[in-house]
Structure 1
């Protein structure tokens, strides 16, 4: 192809083409560029082309161009360029360094295409997504308002009626047995309601409020084990206490967190295998470890503390919403500590570390406290 043919190809290319010399100033634009901008070559030469860049994109655009020019590195960028009729259109600009016949750096050459339809569609999709997320957040708040108020009131009435029925019935009577079934079912629903309210506080950034008071963590762990043993009669649950369990924590919240971890180990560990709790620590902090047989799949482990994921890593769904581990970690963080999970050689360990004295201030109240004892 002759040099004249090359020039004709560049001039009439459907792509807008520009060129800049060693001083980073443009010294050429093809006919397609000039037809788009409606300006002359003289007007676009040097830095004149930048007059057509949208004011909101100007600084970013020029900085990006000059940074890559100095490094002699290819670049890509999107910005709005004023068309000849005054309308700003999004364009995609790609520039690459080029050399002269001797191989020396001679400047940059670039090409631009109009992508306004694509960007407009993307912006519309993003706006639609934002609107849908806003609607979802509003719907979530509405549902939580129903959960925290409209459901709690009838639940309390059911619980009270079951309590009265149990108290006025013979211990072995059918009515007493049904009252016990109702009481347990209400307790499960109340647990789910509390988990949803805790999730809401975390997602709204309020965090979980804690009220630290002196307690004995050793006695708490023993109490939890006794409760779990009464339910999981086929499991061996042991407790190794290797440290003083005294500290200042929120008793109800830690009871909730450690119970969640222990129940998770029983529910998702290898059936019939032992579960072990271990308490260690020093003068500044303590650690509660929960061990169980059975590994967490590698693809699940990084997301095990996300809401609605815990409780499903063995392909089974247990009672509740899969919020146990999420809330347990939120409680640990509220105390200034943390919770981690590790799996190796077919075993899983959850380790919750807590400072002996909780120094964090309780988060501000955000309406219905929704705390569970």
Structure 2
């Protein structure tokens, strides 16, 4: 049988060595466990590289952050996660550190798993063995993106400030700011917009565009963004859309953005004192994940740009006010000198002809007129001063608007007659009672009438209309004068403002009449506006005043101009022959009807919409849009019914009459129309409507 040998007992020395090995292994496992825990708990990226600088084995935090697998980052594959613009610089720094066995340190951008690049501070140190050879490298990436983005943002904003420091107009600021912001963010378009005073419309004054992109300069409504986004922007909340097609319905702004090839947008509204004042946006022609720092950059850019622009505008406004004040003082001196010269000469004449009573009487009348002119001028100045100080006291009473119109017309008639103007009055028959200071409202009407008389060439026409519009009385004064240029429309009501002012102008005046008129009307809780009306050859001013409460509470009438008194009709005469149209219109006025004249089809349609005629005398043979086309268009306006259409033509056979009837005409008159036939036709229409 086999021999059994007893086990050889371990020597004390062997036992000690085994224990040491076991303890070392446990310590190594504990160290690795601690390292793994540290890697998992840390927001930094910890990694190990071989002595040759290659990433090998498992790199938990690197994979978690970059999304790279071990196969992808192995060796030098980790460089693929570095931003392309930083890759060459990073490889050179890493190679240099390996060659010198010295600390590796660099800042670069590292791609996160979601595709976003983050700024990182990367460091690595070599680990040496007992012989001084490098055995491995221990590295760490610390996220410094927020700090770098803040620094980057501040540098860009500072560069914008430096670039626009010497700018002397808002357009330069908009141009430089939008260009620098657009190029920095690499977007398709960068617009800057002012928000209009109605807090609804915004005007894109300027936009920077990348090559091939269309400009969006123009006027828009906030409603185009959709109700929710428009409300947010009025509250100052930034609009951030990363994918228009995914995040917006067509009705909620999607259609608007797609129309300008915008697939992603940041739109930053700027609210000051509770009011939306400006907006700046960046557009991208493809979906884009906007970052918080990018949004913050646009928000700060619009804040700084607006502040700079407003400083320039305020400075320019002060210059303009100073210029107008200087001009005003020169005009004031001129206007005071005008009456003083004849008064002084009159005194000399009176001394020389003191026994010639007729001459003295004429001179006295002249001096009274000149003194009255001076008193009126000084009174206007005092009124402006009182209103400015808040010392003007109104004395309101219950009064019919037509009485105030009559009072103002009586005061202005000498000037109107002196210029041989035709004045027409059309005041609604219904009550237009208002609570107002009669003197002040008559003064307002008189100021506007006097302007119309002064700035309308001799032999012109002034129309005064008054009607009810809901709870307001509307007074409209229109003339065939020189009109007001579009560039002056916004300043015509400002103090010291004049249209085409010059010392040698013939009309005279200080240019404070409309400013005074607006302030007086506003004290009555009303408004006065310059209205753009293509049917008016010169200017149109509409004055709106609140009706007395008991009148306003009654069922409101239609918001249309009134018919003539005494049962007359509103008649529109349309003829390209100006003389023929004017003569027929004159006849309308003489026989008690209110008339308007248009000399082409498009103007006739605009005037019909505003004037609401009851009868239209319409020439068939007009160039461009002929009478048949105008008639069909008029019949398409249901608000004009019932409307009597009367054809005026040189053709009168059965075929022509049938064609005019087919086009919608009620009556057919041969040119030149018999005036008795015209009057008889209108009389029949009046009687028919009474019946």
Provide the TM-score with structure 2 as the length reference.
0.31
Are positions 1:214 and 2:398 aligned together? yes
Which runs of 5 or more residues in structure 1 are unaligned? 30-40, 58-64, 78-94, 113-118, 360-373
Aligned counterparts, 1:22-41, within 5 A? 22=114, 26-28=118-120
Instruction: Name which of structure 1's ranges 181-190 and 259-268 shifts more when overlaid on structure 2.
Output: 181-190
Counterpart selection for 1:236 from 414, 422, 425: 422
Are the equivalent residues in 1 in contact too, given 2:462–2:480 (CA < 8 A)? yes
CA–CA distance in 2 between the matches of 1:276 and 1:302?
20
Q: Which residue of 2 aligns with 1:321?
A: 510
Are the equivalent residues in 2 in contact too, given 1:237–1:274 (CA < 8 A)? yes
Counterpart selection for 2:476 from 278, 289, 294: 289
Q: Which residue of 1 aligns with 2:534?
A: 344
Q: Which residue of 1 aligns with 2:146?
A: 47
Q: Which residue of 1 aligns with 2:443?
A: 256
Aligned counterparts, 1:108-123, within 5 A? none
Q: Deviations over 1:208-252 (max 9, x none)?
A: 653211234323322332332223332232333323354321111
- The 1:289–1:179 alpha-carbon spacing in structure 2 relative to 1, beyond 3 Å, is same
Secondary structure of residue in 1 paired with 2:493:
coil
Which runs of 5 or more residues in structure 2 are unaligned? 1-81, 91-106, 122-139, 158-184, 186-237, 244-263, 269-281, 298-303, 551-691
CA–CA distance in 1 between the matches of 2:355 and 2:88?
99
Q: Deviations over 1:313-370 (max 9, x none)?
A: 9x966222222223223322221222232432343432212123389xxxxxxxxxxx
Q: What's the CA shift for 1:263?
A: 1.0
CA root-mean-square deviation: 5.9
Q: What's the CA shift for 1:259?
A: 0.3
Q: Which residue of 2 aligns with 1:88?
A: none
Q: What's the CA shift for 1:69?
A: 8.8
Which structure has the larger Rg?
Answer: 2
Q: What's the CA shift for 1:260?
A: 1.0
Q: What's the CA shift for 1:127?
A: 9.4
Counterpart selection for 2:409 from 225, 240, 248: 225
- The 1:108–1:253 alpha-carbon spacing in structure 2 relative to 1, beyond 3 Å, is closer
Aligned counterparts, 1:101-140, within 5 A? 126=311, 133=318
Q: Which residue of 1 aligns with 2:373?
A: 188
CA–CA distance in 2 between the matches of 1:126 and 1:270?
42
Secondary structure of residue in 2 paired with 1:276:
strand
Q: Which residue of 2 aligns with 1:371?
A: none
Secondary structure of residue in 2 paired with 1:306:
coil
Q: Which residue of 1 aligns with 2:165?
A: none
Secondary structure of residue in 2 paired with 1:275:
strand
Secondary structure of residue in 1 paired with 2:533:
strand
Are the equivalent residues in 2 in contact too, given 1:19–1:109 (CA < 8 A)? no
Are the equivalent residues in 1 in contact too, given 2:432–2:473 (CA < 8 A)? yes
